[in-house]
Amino acid sequence: MKSPKRYPYPISEDLPLHDGVKKFVTHLDLIEGRSPNTVKAYARDLVDFMEWLRDRAGLPSSAGCDRIMESDITGYLGFLGKGRPDEKNPRRKIEISARTLNRRLSALKAFFKFCMRNSLADSDPTANLSGRRQDKKLPVFLSYTEIVRLIESIPTGDLAGLRDRAIIECLYSTGIRVSELVSLSMGRIPKEGDSFRVIGKRRKERIVFIGEPAKNAIAAYLAVRRREGFDASDDSPLFMNSRGGRLTQRSIQRILSVRSQEAGLRVIPTPHSLRHSFATHLVGGGADLRTVQELLGHASLSTVQIYTHLAPKELIEKYLKSHPLAKEK
């Protein structure tokens, strides 16, 4: 069994609720198998709440989960809603977005549900609370022309160029998360066929598909890598840094940023932007949302409904083609 201290975040013994929060964070890690970033985010939000309970509400460190009332939650959210001081200008307040407030409330709801299930509290103080309404933002994505421009702008005269082109081809072709990409090993990529398995969030396994251009780009990169004497065993990282180690998510972001600037793109995409581009182009090409949901590895269909946005030109074309009274007879 792996250690619950794998994702350390300071949860001081002098904070109220500390015992319950430690158990909850351990549960997220060991039982639910949440990602390191998710575990750390939940811990960070709950520590912030505990510090407010201590410093503003006056709760002692001995206070447990059963001491918290709905008024404590609303008081905390109201405190956050007033904004936080600007470090550069203490007289100025930085407004906290509805998205951030909803995320904090979501962390509290998950925590108190855990407390109820594990007899750490007799009631759920968040049961009657709901989040703030927030504007839905369309995801940042590249057009197909920009994707091609980005890929074709990368020179393939050296190993780094071959690797970077293969990385971008793979992200766009499969729609996998950057965390899934950096965890890929040589043995995962099929020598024949067009699909392979990835381990996604909460360690759920799913099948993704890879197109010929991406397979060819990976093959070209690996051929040169082998010639230059790098490890090519099944357990070795699919994408290596210059020292032969596994690339990090931050490294992929830097690579994409540099290559996008060199290509002169209108926006500098993140690896997640390529995932959005993958989904957007599938929906624009006629794929149904259920298929896109399966390929992306989302648990809920509502999560992929953002991809129903289409460019005005595409909307007009679909309207003219589909509506019975759109054209003269």
pLDDT interval class at 329 (50, 70, 90): very low
40, 188, 201, 206: the active-site residue: 201
| Short-list 160, 166, 183, CA closest to 242 | 160
Averaged over 138-163, what is the pLDDT? 93
What is residue 6's predicted lDDT score, i.e. its pLDDT? Answer: 53
pLDDT at 159 over 50: yes
Residue type, 187: G
- The stretch 26-44 carries a mean pLDDT of 89
Looking at the structure, do residues 109 and 160 belong to the same domain, yes or no?
no
> Does some domain include residue 34?
yes
Statement: residue 99 has pLDDT above 50:
yes
Q: What is the pLDDT of residue 2?
A: 43
What pLDDT is attached to residue 284?
A: 82
Interatomic CA distance for residues 178 and 284, integer angstroms: 23
Active site residue 272: yes
What mean pLDDT is predicted for residues 255-282?
93
Asked if residues 241 and 164 have their Cβ atoms less than 8 Å apart, the reply is no
Residues 175, 287, single domain; the answer is: yes
Predicted local distance difference test score (pLDDT) of residue 323: 59
Residue of 7, 42, 172, 307 with catalytic role: 307
Q: Which residue has the higher pLDDT, 260 or 205?
A: 260
Instruction: Please report whether residue 249 resides in a domain.
Output: yes
> Quick one: 100 and 188 in the same domain?
no
pLDDT tens for each residue of 289-318: 888 899 998 877 777 777 765 544 555 565
Q: Which entry of 104, 109, 165, 177 is annotated as an active-site residue?
A: 177
Whether residue 95 sits in one domain with residue 228: no
- Give the pLDDT confidence of 70-98 residue by residue, as tens digits: 999 999 999 998 887 777 777 777 788 88
Query: Do 69 and 151 belong together in one domain?
Result: no
pLDDT at 4 over 50: no
* Residue 204 in this model has a pLDDT that exceeds 80: yes
Name which of 237, 221, 224 is nearest 187 in CA terms. Answer: 237
Domain count for the chain, please give it.
Answer: 2
Q: Quick one: average pLDDT of 167-180?
A: 96
How high is the mean pLDDT of the chain?
A: 87
Residue 122 included in any domain: no
pLDDT over 70, % of the chain:
89
In a domain, 197, yes or no: yes
Query: What percentage of the chain carries pLDDT values higher than 90?
Result: 62
- pLDDT category at 33 given cuts 50, 70, 90 is confident
Domain that holds residue 97: 4-117
Alpha helices (runs of H) in the chain, residue ranges in sequence order: 18-30, 36-55, 70-81, 98-117, 144-152, 159-174, 178-182, 212-227, 249-263, 271-284, 289-296, 312-322
Taking alpha carbons only, the member of 129, 227, 122, 239 closest to residue 180 is: 239
Active site residue 309: no
Would 129 be classed as within a structural domain?
no
The rounded distance, in Å, linking the Cα atoms of 181 and 191 is: 17
> Of 22, 188, 206, 272, which one is the catalytic site residue?
272
If one compares 158 and 137, the residue with the highest pLDDT of the two is 158
* Contact (CB, 8 A) for 192 and 215: no
When pLDDT is averaged across residues 112-128 and rounded to a whole number, the result is 95
203 tagged catalytic: no
Residue 93, classed as helix, strand or coil, is strand
CA-to-CA distance for 160 and 153, rounded, in angstroms?
A: 13
CB 279 within 8 A of CB 296: yes
Residue 281 among the catalytic residues: no
